[in-house]
């Protein structure tokens, strides 16, 4: 219960500026949205959508590459997965925690790059 209160009392779950971070050029924008694969239409995440306009198929979530986070972005005062909230592409006003504690990152290599999972 105490960890849940601590998680809820933290500031914003993620920086709202994470919706459109720059990747080195002003025209390179990163966006997370729903996409209809047949037509290519995209829909913002602000309004929940569960299916296509013309059917009952689920609408997949499209996440374009994001810039990632640095050690400085990890909130050491939060002892849950929400300590990595800066990596999320959208803001979360009411985070939920299962009391998972301080989940460590695991070092690995992916396509020749050092990464942390």
For the chain, give every domain's residue range: 1-30+65-117
Mean pLDDT of the chain: 68
pLDDT at residue 45 greater than cutoff 70 = yes
Neighbours of 40 (CB within 10 A): 8
**How many other CB atoms sit within 10 Å of the CB of residue 59?**
18
Half-sphere exposure for 47 (CA within 13 Å, toward CB): 4
Residue 95: predicted pLDDT: 83
CA separation for the pair 96, 116 (Å, rounded): 23
End-to-end CA separation in angstroms for the chain: 27
Q: For residue range 76-117, what is the model confidence (pLDDT) as tens digits? A: 888 888 888 888 777 778 888 887 777 677 899 999 999 888
Of 57, 59, 64, 39, residue with least CA distance to 47: 59
What is the token pair recorded at 99? 């009391």
pTM exceeding 0.85: no
Instruction: Reply yes or no on whether the pLDDT at 54 is more than 50.
Output: yes
Instruction: Please answer whether residues 107 and 28 qualify as being in contact, where contact means their C-beta atoms are separated by less than 8 angstroms.
Output: no
Mean pLDDT for the stretch of residues 12-37: 43
């Amino acid at each position: 219960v105490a960890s849940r209160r601590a998680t809820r009392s933290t500031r914003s779950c993620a920086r709202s500026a994470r919706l459109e971070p720059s990747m080195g050029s002003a025209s390179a924008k990163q966006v997370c949205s729903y996409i209809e694969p047949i037509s290519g239409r995209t829909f913002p995440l602000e309004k929940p959508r569960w299916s296509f306009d013309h059917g009952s198929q689920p609408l997949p979530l499209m996440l374009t590459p994001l810039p990632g986070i640095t050690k400085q972005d990890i909130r050491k005062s939060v002892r849950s997965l929400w300590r990595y909230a800066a990596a999320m592409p959208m803001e979360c006003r009411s985070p939920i925690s299962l009391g998972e504690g301080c989940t460590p990152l695991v070092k690995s290599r992916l396509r020749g790059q050092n990464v942390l999972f």
